[in-house]
Chain A
Amino acid sequence: MANRRVAVTGMGVISALGENTAEFWQALIEGRSGIRPIQAVDRTQFRFQNGAEVQNYNPSKYFDEKDQSLLDRFAQFAVVAAREAVHDADVEWTTDLKERTAIVTGSCVGGQQTEDEGFVSLYKNGSPRVNPFTIPRIMGNGGASRISVEFGVVGPTYTVSTACSSANHAIGQAFWMVRSGMVDLALTGGSEAIFSMGFLKAWEAMRVVSPDTCRPFSKDRRGIILGEGGAMLVLEPLEAARARGATIYGELVGFGMSSDAFHITQPSPDGAARAMRSALCDGGLVAEQIGYINAHGTGTAANDATETASIRKVFGAHSDKLAVSSTKSMHGHALGAAGALEAVATLHALRRGILPPTANYMAADPACDLDVIPNEARKQSVEFGMSNSFAFGGLNAVLVFRRV
């Protein structure tokens, strides 16, 4: 079968900016940050105070008690986002479609909150046993499996774990499956829930978490702000979407991947450039066609300067015409959910002709000399947008979207 064009027909988000896509997008265009003092743990124990947590999340609103006992917070976020996306796409489930649907989710560390609770039970409280549902709650595929059960999907279903690039890798794989004709629908994205003492302490030891807020590309940036949440997309062939009158949010046109082969935590401009070029090539595009990049933009000294250098490597003189922003400045770095949140942001940006800003921006850094849309969203019509994820371990995944 020849390659088919792939449309995005549904989106779902739960994040620090709200419990649905509308709230997420509204906050982004207002330049409103969801970074606040951490509530889940005793923040006086940490060198940093702030995070991008989902606010006032009530599991009972979405799951009965039995389901709550089987699902870690990260898996719940995946399901909540998937429900919104499927409802949004108004999918007509037939037996045939359920066999020809893929579910590909991303998560960095899956149910680590459950794992943390288990450790507290065993090692701190001296209990001889842990919650009997610890294994199904911890497993990284918890979200994907539950989504499969929820919608009766019996097609290819799996989870990808590549640190901060997990969701981009997941979405890219799902994209290729729909494009090639292997499946006729895909539910794809990522989710993460990491606000537990142990995991936050692990991040503290890396010394990359900002003591104040996340200021990507800004001269005085001091590191990342951790976030949580989930985002899911519905992908289907563009022709099928048009035939059934589905809302088409945009088209997914390219996916590129690479490995740095450089350092376990420090990024390499060559690896990132390779992934961006690969995504352009996959989409049959040239660099000059890109108008907006949703950057990986974590707010660390290393990433933002390296990402700037890698963008200049790929785009050359066109770099000065690009609009680049990091929405992590508002929804935080949600690790395995990051790429999915950023896919939704990019799709909306293209569809509505409003580019979200890089929030909390204070001063220009000569090493980050790009137009980073500081602090205020901008009305600008862009046809092709790129979304970057560059993970620890040097694993890079890049998506390219098109306005429809």
Chain B
Amino acid sequence: MPDDLEQRVISVIAATQHIPADTITIDSTFEELKIDSLDGINILFAVENEFNLNIPDEAAQKIRSVREMVDGIRKLMEPGEEGQAGVPVSA
């Protein structure tokens, strides 16, 4: 049975993509769900709002499936985890 976090992620993806939640499982890949790069950043935006998180770009680019998204969020929600700051370039 999907836990609460998985359910919330699936709901966010379903709402953002305008598809029924029961077509999405923890094993679904973005390719299977026809999520392209623009959909991807839209989902990230919705997920960041839902969970009040900052998902760094590097991590975001690696997310290609529901499972990777859930695992990534779970990790960010652990106490002590922070989003990655940018690297200042010396002048």
Contacts and interface: CB of A to CB of B under 8 A. Distances in A.
Interface in A210-256: 211-213, 222-223
A205 B45 contact: yes
* Secondary structure dominating the interface of B: loop
A361 interface: no
Given A206-B41, A207-B41, A265-B37, A212 B87 contact: yes
B23 interface: no
A212 B37 contact: no
Interface stretch (A43-51, A87-95, A108-116, A279-287): A43-51
Contact of A36 (B38, B60, B84, B89): B89
Contacts of B38: 263-266
Contact of B89 (A47, A49, A207): A49
B57 interface: yes
A47 B45 contact: no
SS of A interface (majority): loop
Interface of A: 35-37, 43, 46-50, 205-207, 209, 211-213, 222-223, 263-266, 302
A37 B91 contact: yes
Contacts of B84: 47, 211
A355 to B, nearest CB: 24
Given A207-B57, A207-B60, A212 B45 contact: no
Contact of A223 (B54, B57, B87, B88): B57
Interface string B63-91: 00000000000000000000111111101
B86 A36 contact: no
B41 A50 contact: no
B61 A207 contact: yes
Nearest to A209: B57
